Chain A
């Protein structure tokens, strides 16, 4: 990758802005650039995690499959955002699907290659881990907020859930069996 492109990534991706140009060059040697079409999934919920994606150009959305088959959009991603970051540090199944909305370019960091940098105590890997902690903290706080909102306004949530329940059961009797 050209020097100018490295500089451009450093400027446009906050996640990598703490890295020096040399550290970023090392990182780019193990990264893979991929171009996606509208609707293509970077990864799907339930798949084994093998790394993380950084959106370089375009947009994407994070979806969660619900039991009844429909999708809940958890968040939208834009250039500079990261997706599947937990896949960099653990190999649990993906907790959501991330899908391109329009043409999208990503950088993929494979966990095994990143582990190699960690083992060598590469300063860039440490900066990434520190940044990752900040992202995980923000995400945990946002999810807690969703939970709080849900229970802090029980009337509104009741209304929402009753409509949702009726969509799948088809009658208002709350004591006549569970969801389909």
Chain B
């Protein structure tokens, strides 16, 4: 049986700073979605202006390159936000997010978020703080990756040689 969204929010550390009324408000725009182990929460390339709050379980973020190479970009767990970029710019998903165990996520669409945002200023501040924190981390992580690639050419060359071999064999394992 599906849990009540308000109870789920109350159990998440990341939302403890919301009071009961704010959690009630947020719960009106979130819908729970169960994802079984091995299933995708969403796929890279899909267009869907929404974001998810991970409520239970662990997901892995996967990036598929044209060369049939799939890289793991990190894991997300309870309280983490995923899919924010597509929510903001209404464009395609950058990653596939796959459940590594049975999991539960809460989805909020852009339209619902906008409605909520316009009506509750203090509450909106708290949510915006979470968004900026998550997005800042994404930018910093990508910056670090790029710096690492260009700062250690020998290691990067080895990775590229591996990518070339992988592409030739069309391997899709990760």
CA of A123 to CA of B151, assembled, Å: 42
> Is B67's CB under 8 angstroms from A151's CB?
yes
Main secondary structure of the interface of A (DSSP, over half): helix
Knowing A141-B85, A151-B67, the reply to whether A178 touches B154 (Cβ < 8 A) is yes
What is the predominant secondary structure among interface residues of chain B facing chain A? helix
CB pair A136–B139 under 8 Å, yes or no, is: yes
Instruction: Tell me if A11 counts as interface (CB < 8 A to partner B).
Output: no
- Give B148-162 as 1s and 0s: 1 = Cβ < 8 Å from A's Cβ atoms: 011111101100110
Other-chain residue from B63, B129, B131, B167 in contact with A148 (beta carbon distance below 8 A): B63
Taking residues whose C-beta sits less than 8 angstroms from the other chain, chain B's interface range is 35 or more
Within 8 A of A (CB), among B122-146: 122, 124-125, 128-129, 131-133, 135-136, 138-140, 142-143, 145-146
Interface centre among A121, A161, A164 (most CB of B within 10 A): A161
Residues of B within 8 A of A96 (CB): 143
Residues in chain A within 8 A of chain B (CB atoms): 64, 66-68, 72, 86, 89-90, 92, 95-96, 118, 121, 123, 126, 129-130, 132-134, 136-141, 143-144, 146-148, 150-155, 157-158, 161-162, 164-165, 168, 174, 178-179
Supplied contacts A137-B135, A152-B66, 19 more A-B pairs, CB within 8 Å: A66-B147, A86-B140, A123-B121, A129-B125, A136-B136, A136-B138, A136-B139, A140-B85, A141-B85, A141-B89, A147-B145, A150-B149, A152-B67, A154-B161, A154-B164, A157-B160, A161-B160, A174-B154, A174-B157
A/B interface sample: 12 pairs, CB < 8 A:
A64-B146, A126-B128, A129-B125, A134-B88, A137-B89, A140-B138, A143-B142, A144-B94, A151-B71, A151-B163, A154-B167, A158-B161
